[in-house]
Amino acid sequence: MAVDFHEYVATRRRPLLRLAYLLTGDPHHAEDVVQTALLQAFRQWRRVSRADQPDAYVRRMVVNAYIDGKRRRSSTESPTAPEDLPAAVQHDHTDAHAERSLMWTALAGLPRVQRAVLVLRYYEDLDDARIAELLGSSPVTVRSNASRALARLRKEWTRV
């Protein structure tokens, strides 16, 4: 049975936003990524809703929108580095928040595909085969990206 698009968005928007936030580390960018993916899903809803797993189809659209997002950035748009934010917006610098901030910064420094692999593995709890399917790659490539990403995070963490 085909699911209505509006019903799908009403029930699945929050989990999609969570995934996008974990990928981007920015709630506003996450909204943009989900909106881009949902627009694409709406345009293809007849095909998406008839898929075996419509949610997996849309999650893949979210991941692809995140990975492709850097290429679509406007030439007039430039991201703001956290140190450029006003003091009132900066993170609380208690130990717990400082560690979380450092980890997010290190995660944000990873290439998009490596970050996507870690988010899908450790936050979405997907196995390598499922991640490979979502990213359109092989499980070996997923493991390779995860290994490189974790090695880079370890290296960043030991420098601190």
Domain presence at residue 105: yes
Q: Judge whether 22 and 123 are in contact, CB under 8 Å.
A: yes
Same domain, yes or no: 57 and 103: no
Confidence check: pLDDT of 101 > 80: no
Q: Which CATH number covers residue 102?
A: 1.10.10.10
Q: What pLDDT, in 10s, does the model give residues 72-83?
A: 555 555 555 555
Domain presence at residue 156: yes
| Nearest residue to 50 via CA among 112, 92, 4 | 4
Same domain, yes or no: 57 and 102: no
Mean pLDDT across the stretch 109-122? 92
Q: Judge whether 19 and 66 are in contact, CB under 8 Å.
A: no
Same domain, yes or no: 7 and 66: yes
Q: What pLDDT, in 10s, does the model give residues 20-36?
A: 998 988 899 999 999 99
Give the domain extent around 60.
1-73
Res 99: pLDDT: 72
Domain presence at residue 109: yes
Res 157: pLDDT: 74
Identify the band that residue 3 occupies on the pLDDT scale cut at 50, 70 and 90: confident
Asked whether the whole model's pTM tops 0.75, one would answer no
Q: How many domains in the chain?
A: 2
Res 91: pLDDT: 46
